[in-house]
Amino acid sequence: MRSEERGPEEPPADGLTVGRTAGLVGVSVKTLHHWDGIGLVRPGGRTRAGYRVYGDDDVARLHRVLVYREIGIPLAEIGRLLDDPEVDAREHLRRQRGQLAERISRLERMVGAVDRMLLESKPGIRLTPEEQVEIFGADWEPARTEVAEERWGGTAQWAQYEERAARMSREDWKGVAAAVEALTADLATAYRTGVAPGSEVADALAERHRAQISTYFDCTYALQVCIGRTYATDPGYVAHYDAIAPGLGGWLCEVIAANAEANGVDPESAVWE
C-alpha cells in the first residue's frame, strides 16, 4: 500500500497511537489522556487524519515519568523535573535511587518478619530451612517434611506430630538430632558387624528406633513396620541409608519386622492405622 493510501486511523511510521503506546509502556489509555491533559506527556505527532501519535522522544519521556512515579514523586513535581533546565536530573535520580534502595531493604525486612510470623503460626516444626540444615546436618533436605506430609498428612499420627513439634524448642530439636545421629551410627556398626535381625542386639536397636519415632507420635509396632518398609522401597530412604552403608535400609526393615513379630505383630499384614 502506498503511503498516500494509508487509512486515517493508521499512524505514520515514526509514531504510535495512544492504544499502542499504552500497551507498550504498561499504563491505561485513560492515564495517557490524563497526562496529556495536564501537559505532562503530550503526543508530538499527528496522522494525516489529525490523530495524535507518540514519537520516540514522547515514549522516552513516558518511561522517565514511570520511573519517577514509581519512586513516589508527585506528578506535578515530575513535570518540573522534566521541564526545568536548571534541575540536575541525574543527580536527582541518584538521590531517588538511594531512597528506593532503602525502601527495598525495609520491605525485605518486613517480608522476613512476615515469614517468621507464618512459620510461628504454622503447626509442626518451627525452624527455618537454614536452622534445620544447621541442626540436622548439611545433607538434610527441608523438603522431607513436605514429602512426609504428602504421605501421612491427614492421619491421626500426623496431627499428633504437628502438635508435638509445635511445642519443641530449638534446643529440643538439637537433642532429637543428636539422638538420631547416635542411633544411626549404632545401626551402621551393627549392620557392618553382621548383627542378625531378631537377635537381642537387633531387637534393642529396633526399640530405640521405635522410641525415636515416638518423639513425634505414638508409634505402635505395626506403624513402625509400615515406616520400616519405606527404608527398603522408597528411593529417597534407600539412597539415604546406602550413603551410610550399602544395604542398611533393607537390613533395618528386617530388624524392625523381626522385633514386631516377637511382640505379637505379623509384619506381613501390618497396616497404618
Q: Are 8 and 47 in contact (CB under 8 A)?
A: yes
* Residue 46 host element (H or E): strand 45-46
pLDDT of 149 over the 70 cut: no
- Cα distance between residue 40 and residue 55, in whole Å: 15
Higher-confidence residue of 5 and 200: namely 200
pLDDT at 258: 96
**What is the predicted pLDDT for the residue at 119?**
46
- Domain with residue 140: its CATH number is 1.10.490.50
Q: Based on the domain organization, do 220 and 159 belong to the same domain? A: yes
250 and 127 in a single domain? The answer is yes
| 137 and 21 co-located in one domain | no
79, 132: one domain: no
Q: How far apart are CA 14 and CA 184, in angstroms?
A: 73
Neighbours of 58 (CB within 10 A): 20
Confidence check: pLDDT of 138 > 80: no
Q: Say what the pLDDT of residue 57 is.
A: 85
Cα separation, 244 vs 262, in Å, equals 27
Query: Quick check: 162 pLDDT over 60?
Result: yes
Q: Does a structural domain hold residue 139?
A: yes
Residue range 16-52, pLDDT digits in tens: 888 889 888 888 999 999 999 898 899 988 877 777 8
Could you tell me if residue 24 is inside a domain? yes
Note the pLDDT of residue 207: 96
Q: What is the DSSP string of 203-219?
A: HHHHHHHHHHHTTTS--
Nearest to 158 by CA among 217, 231, 228: 217
Q: How many CA atoms lie within 13 A of 71 on its CB side?
A: 18
More confident residue, 256 or 175: 256
Q: Give the number of other Cβ atoms within 10 Å of residue 17's Cβ.
A: 18
Residue 248 sits in the same domain as residue 129: yes
Q: Among residues 87, 110, 140, which one ends one of the domains?
A: 87
Helix (H, G, I), strand (E, B) or coil at 138: coil
DSSP state letter for 235? H
CA 178, distance to chain mean position in Å, is 28
- 247 and 126 both lie in a single domain: yes
Specify if 64 maps to a domain: yes
Q: What is the pLDDT of residue 155?
A: 77
Residue 250 near residue 233, CB atoms below 8 Å: no
130 confidence band (pLDDT: 50, 70, 90)? low
**Closest by alpha carbon to 230, among 240, 220, 221?**
240
Are residues 128 and 258 both part of a single domain? yes
Same domain as 160, residue 73? no
Does any domain span residue 143? yes
Helix (H, G, I), strand (E, B) or coil at 26: coil
Residues spanned by the domain of 231: 122-262
Interval 167-190 mean pLDDT: 85
Identify whether residues 162 and 254 lie together within a single domain. Answer: yes
Residue 171 lies inside a defined structural domain of this protein:
yes
Q: Which of 54-58, 103-107, 144-148, 157-161 has the highest mean pLDDT?
A: 54-58
Residue 100 lies inside a defined structural domain of this protein: no
Q: Looking at the 3D structure of the chain, how many domains does it have?
A: 2
Would residue 40 count as lying in a domain?
yes
Judge if 255 and 128 occupy the same domain.
yes
pLDDT value for 7: 44
Phi-psi region of 261 (alpha: psi -120 to 50; beta: other; left: phi over 0): alpha
CA–CA separation, 35 and 151 (whole Å): 57
Grid cell 485513560 is found at: 30
**Res 94 pLDDT > 80:** no
Asked whether residue 257 falls in the same domain as residue 127, the answer is yes
CATH number of the domain bearing residue 33: 1.10.1660.10
Q: Is residue 270 part of a domain?
A: no
- What's the whole-number mean pLDDT along residues 207-220? 90
Final residue of a domain: which of 87, 105, 134? 87
The mean of the pLDDT values for the chain is 79
Considering the domain architecture, whether residues 202 and 129 belong to the same structural domain is answered as yes
- Please report which helix (H) or strand (E) contains residue 86, including its range: none
Tens of pLDDT along 214-258?
A: 888 888 999 999 999 999 998 888 888 998 999 999 999 999 999
SS3 state of residue 54: strand
